């Protein structure tokens, strides 16, 4: 008997003795997934809301379950976090562990589990168990195990959704600019050239742009590793480390997940071609792809996203699912904690005290900025160290530089740093037109017409 079998058996025993009140050892098709979400929403009305952000090609809802003590809206100062799974319809472990996670959150919150109560009080958590429900149904209908390696991967119109996002990488490579590229009409036009944006992609892109997400993970299968930006190499090489300006924090984010999962922590990969270290890899160093969701998050919005490969087998038998819950349960929570680290705060108009949205929070030495949200709140994930930070907002003078010491990440350890901004005396040059600040949807629509 090999070591992996021993691990599976011992974990299954551990799972049997755990006190979960929901079944862990079954797959959920679209109807069952919908039912679990509705039941959980009804059971935990006080901390959940269930919404569909759009529909798949075949008309299935793209469900998102939100957990928060204010689940229906953004609370100023509270970070927004998301998990997305099953973007490739035949990669199902992420889908099932998120179905477990929603039930676990609901049950444990009502039991008064302090860890979960604190988490749901301090972070707004969005959970999308399936971004590709059509692909899932196709894969699930195949009889027996192991299932075909590729059937059901793509959406119903035969598009790989993780190659279907506007490809801003090429623009970032050329210009060195990595900041909110989706707000530039010419860039969007270039980034969507040759890509037929699918309804699932458009719904998720719009969702990413419409909520001030801080942190995210995209759950896949077929290997065991945490993969971080960039996913696409600038020189066109298939395997070439392409770090982004936030490489240091992305390594930390990936390690936070990997270290929480005993199988991933030591993973060198499922394939002989893999060369992972401590269960993490740069995306382009593994293999370069264009049009991925992870890089879209970084280049189009404030959100930092990594991609988690959760299992060597993409569609494992139902009896093995409890092991994956056991392996990922703590890692999923540890990873959410990362959204509560770094530096955060509010930007105010010095004279009126009004919040200042859309202001750039600039960290000296890192060529990537985050922008304040509608309530003037911002979050900036950073590894431990000393930083010089200032803020630039349209119509205001460049702020003073403030220095801040960021400690090692522990839950809720973000340092608070607020700025009061003085209005500039200079007469405003013509205010940026809506053209350059349009949301992605309207830009895409106008281009595709
Ligand atoms: Zn995948």
Contact 62, 204 (CB under 8 A): yes
- Catalytic residue numbers read 309
| Mean pLDDT confidence for 100-113 | 98
pLDDT tens figures, 4-53: 545 555 555 555 445 688 999 999 999 999 999 999 999 999 999 999 99
What pLDDT shows up at residue 8? 54
pLDDT tens figures, 134-145: 999 999 999 999
Judge whether 420 lies within some domain: yes
Judge whether 2 lies within some domain: no
Asked whether residue 379 falls in the same domain as residue 407, the answer is yes
Measured in Å, residue 334 CA sits from the centre of ligand 1 at 22
Q: Which positions ≥6 away from 40 have C-beta within 8 Å?
A: 48, 65, 102, 103, 106
Asked whether residue 328 falls in the same domain as residue 361, the answer is no
Find the distance separating the first CA and the last CA of the chain, reported in whole Å.
60
Asked whether residue 150 falls in the same domain as residue 248, the answer is yes
What pLDDT shows up at residue 275? 86
Asked whether residue 97 falls in the same domain as residue 192, the answer is yes
More confident residue, 446 or 118: 118
The residue segments making up the domain with residue 67 are: 30-339
Measured in Å, residue 368 CA sits from the centre of ligand 1 at 27
d(CA 204, CA 126): 12
CA nearest 389: which of 422, 348, 343? 343
Beta pairing class for 370-371 and 360-363: antiparallel
Residue 47 CA neighbour count, 13 Å, CB half:
26
| pLDDT range class, residue 431, cuts 50, 70, 90 | very low
| Mean pLDDT confidence for 270-274 | 91
Give me the torsion for CA of 177, 179, 183, 187, rounded to 10°.
30
Asked whether residue 188 falls in the same domain as residue 306, the answer is yes
Question: What is the rounded average pLDDT for all residues in the chain?
Answer: 92
Q: Which residues surround ligand 1, an ion (CB under 5 A)?
A: 88, 91, 220
Asked whether residue 335 falls in the same domain as residue 349, the answer is no
Name the E strands within 38-149. 48-55, 61-67, 80-85, 124-128
DSSP string, 244-281: -TTHHHHHHHHHHHHHTSHHHHT---SSTT---BTTEE
Asked whether residue 318 falls in the same domain as residue 397, the answer is no
More confident residue, 148 or 4: 148
Asked whether residue 60 falls in the same domain as residue 178, the answer is yes
| Angstrom distances, CA of residue 433 to CA of 183, 356, 443 | 11, 18, 13
Measured in Å, residue 139 CA sits from the centre of ligand 1 at 13
Measured at the CA of 305, the angle between CA 301 and CA 307, to 5 degrees, comes to: 145
| Angstrom distances, CA of residue 285 to CA of 229, 231, 295, 378 | 10, 8, 14, 31
| Mean pLDDT confidence for 214-242 | 97
What pLDDT shows up at residue 435? 39
Whole-model pTM?
0.93
Measured in Å, residue 92 CA sits from the centre of ligand 1 at 10
d(CA 198, CA 162): 11
CATH number at residue 372: 2.60.40.1120
Answer yes or no: is pLDDT of 58 > 90: yes
Q: How many CB atoms lie under 10 A from the CB of residue 22?
A: 15
Asked whether residue 313 falls in the same domain as residue 415, the answer is no
DSSP state of 355: B
Q: What is the total count of domains within the chain?
A: 2
CATH number at residue 260: 3.40.630.10
Asked whether residue 120 falls in the same domain as residue 240, the answer is yes
> Could you say which of 339, 362, 378 is where a domain stops?
339
CA 69 to chain centroid: 21
Asked whether residue 335 falls in the same domain as residue 395, the answer is no
Judge whether 438 lies within some domain: yes
DSSP state of 423: B
> Could you say which of 298, 317, 339 is where a domain stops?
339
Contact 257, 268 (CB under 8 A): no
């Amino acid at each position: 008997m090999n070591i992996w079998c021993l691990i599976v058996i011992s974990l299954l025993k551990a799972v049997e003795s755990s006190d979960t009140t929901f079944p862990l050892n079954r797959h959920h098709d679209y109807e069952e997934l919908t039912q679990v979400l509705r039941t959980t929403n009804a059971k935990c009305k006080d901390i959940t809301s269930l919404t569909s952000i759009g529909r798949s090609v075949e008309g299935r809802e793209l469900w998102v379950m939100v957990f928060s003590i204010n689940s229906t809206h953004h609370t100023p100062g509270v970070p927004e976090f998301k998990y997305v799974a099953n973007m490739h319809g035949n990669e199902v472990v992420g889908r099932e562990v998120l179905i477990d996670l929603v039930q676990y959150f609901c049950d444990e919150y009502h039991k008064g589990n302090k860890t979960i109560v604190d988490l749901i009080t301090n972070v707004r958590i969005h959970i999308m168990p399936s971004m590709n429900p059509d692909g899932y149904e196709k894969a699930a209908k195949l009889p027996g195990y192991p299932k075909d390696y590729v059937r059901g991967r793509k959406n119903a119109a035969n598009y790989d959704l993780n190659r279907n996002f506007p490809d801003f990488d090429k623009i970032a490579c050329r210009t060195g600019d990595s900041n909110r590229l989706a707000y530039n009409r010419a860039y969007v036009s270039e980034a969507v050239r040759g890509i037929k944006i699918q309804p699932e992609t458009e719904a998720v892109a719009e969702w990413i742009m419409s909520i001030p997400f801080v942190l995210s993970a995209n759950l896949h299968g077929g290997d065991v590793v945490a993969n971080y930006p960039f996913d696409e190499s600038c020189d066109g090489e298939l395997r070439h480390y392409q770090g982004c300006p936030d490489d240091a924090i992305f390594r930390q984010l990936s390690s936070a997940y990997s270290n929480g999962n005993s199988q991933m922590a030591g993973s060198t990969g499922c394939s002989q071609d893999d060369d992972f270290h401590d269960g993490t890899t740069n995306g382009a160093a593994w293999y370069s792809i264009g049009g991925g969701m992870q890089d879209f998050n970084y280049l189009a919005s404030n959100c930092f996203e990594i991609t988690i490969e959760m299992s060597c087998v993409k569609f494992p038998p139902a009896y093995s699912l409890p092991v994956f819950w056991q392996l990922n349960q703590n890692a999923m929570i540890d990873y959410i904690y990362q959204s509560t680290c770094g530096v955060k705060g509010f930007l105010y108009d010095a004279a009126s005290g009004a919040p200042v949205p859309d202001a750039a929070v600039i960290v000296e030495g890192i060529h990537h900025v985050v922008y304040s949200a509608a309530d003037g709140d911002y979050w900036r994930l950073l590894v431990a160290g000393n930083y010089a930070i200032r803020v630039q907002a349209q119509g205001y003078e460049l702020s003073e530089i403030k220095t801040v010491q960021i400690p090692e990440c522990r839950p809720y350890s973000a340092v608070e740093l607020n700025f009061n901004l003085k209005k500039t005396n200079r007469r405003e040059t013509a205010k940026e037109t809506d053209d350059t600040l349009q949301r992605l949807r309207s830009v895409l629509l106008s281009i595709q017409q």
